[in-house]
Chains A and B, each alone.
Chain A
Amino acid sequence: DAKTTQPPSMDCAEGRAANLPCNHSTISGNEYVYWYRQIHSQGPQYIIHGLKNNETNEMASLIITEDRKSSTLILPHATLRDTAVYYCIVDNYGQNFVFGPGTRLSVLP
Chain B
Amino acid sequence: DTEVTQTPKHLVMGMTNKKSLKCEQHMGHRAMYWYKQKAKKPPELMFVYSYEKLSINESVPSRFSPECPNSSLLNLHLHALQPEDSALYLCASRGQGRDEQFFGPGTRLTVL
Q: Do these two chains really belong together in a complex?
A: no
